Amino acid sequence: MCVLFICILVGSLLRNNSSKDDLLANYDYHISGEDVYIQSNMSYAQDKASESVCDGDPDSIPDYFGIDYVILNNNIPNFTEWDFEHIEGQSFSRLDTLGRCGTAIARINREMMPTEKREDIGSVKPSGWIQNKYPGVVDSQPPYLYNRSHLIAYALTGENANELNLITGTRYFNATIMLPWEEKVMRYLDYSDNHVLYRVSPLFRGKELLSRGVEIEAYSVEDSGKGVCFHIFAYNIQPGIELDYSTGNNRKIQE
Each residue's pLDDT tens digit, 188-226: 999 999 999 999 999 999 999 999 999 999 999 999 999
pLDDT at 26: 55
Is the model's pLDDT at 50 over the cut of 60? Answer: yes
| pLDDT(232) > 70 | yes
What is the spatial distance between Cα 217 and Cα 105, in angstroms, rounded to a whole number?
9
Mean pLDDT along residues 145-174: 97
Query: Has residue 1 got a pLDDT over 80?
Result: no
Mean pLDDT of the chain: 89
Residue 64: its pLDDT value, please? 96
What is the reported pLDDT for 18? 41
CATH code given to domain 12-252: 3.40.570.10
Instruction: Tell whether omega for the bond before 58 is within 30 degrees of 0, i.e. cis.
Output: no
Supply the pLDDT for residue 46: 87
pTM attached to this predicted model: 0.89
Asked if the model's pLDDT at residue 159 lies above 50, the reply is: yes
15 has pLDDT over 90: no
Of the ranges 22-26, 81-85, 139-143, 159-163, which one carries the lowest mean pLDDT score? 22-26
pLDDT at 43: 82
Whether the predicted pLDDT of 9 surpasses 90: no
- Spell out the alpha helix ranges (H) of the chain: 18-23, 53-56, 81-86, 154-157, 171-172, 179-190
* Residue range 30-46: mean pLDDT, rounded: 81
> Domain map of the chain by residue range?
12-252
In the predicted structure, residue 22 carries a pLDDT above the cut 80:
no
Q: How confident is the model at residue 44 (pLDDT cuts 50, 70, 90)?
A: confident
User: Is 3 a residue whose pLDDT tops 80?
Assistant: no
The predicted model gives 155-181 an average pLDDT of 97
Question: Cα torsion for 102, 103, 107, 108, to the nearest 10°?
Answer: 70
Average pLDDT over residues 116-140: 95
pLDDT more than 90, % of the chain:
80
Determine the pLDDT at residue 107. Answer: 98
CB burial of 165-203 (b: ≥16 within 10 Å; e: otherwise) equals bbbbbbbbbbeebbeebbebbbebbeebebbbbbbbbbb
**Residue 123, Ramachandran bin (φ over 0: left; ψ between -120 and 50: alpha; else beta):** alpha
